Chain A
């Protein structure tokens, strides 16, 4: 797919298990974060966001955790399904300026 990197980290999980995808961000002043999912041949799809005044936010089957102390963001997907197979990107934003994206993680769901 378009988002494949030669050295893209890959996470393989069994269908039905929980997935945890990690992201280290670069700017301690970043105040907003988004997780995107990109399937082959498609543009990134907005999954969930979180502001820096929160440390956890839950959506449908997904949870984002923010640890500002170590500049770390994680995306947890509950009961991972085959349709969750994709590349996942985190993006950080500082004061409404342009987004900076992480390198992405490929999630592979095993039957």
Chain B
């Protein structure tokens, strides 16, 4: 079982819709979770992080963490074609120091 799992997609949503990206993790002791966006041919860009149960909002982005169910999600409201990218979920595992463990990423396509 992979430590951080994501559906590879592609996830296609129409412009203006809400895109919902999900991530599950196996290490119950994981404390912090990060969402990165990676455009094709570019390096990952940190969108936001979350470490408390519940929701965290930043502009059009909302991260949700449910530690009991061991999942993290990223909602993108009013999706735009410029949001089309691969979204990587990452966590810091228990005893992992400051090391990030990445999921395989979900490709999002926002269609006109």
Binding partners A and B: no
Chain A residues in contact with chain B, CB under 8 A? Answer: none
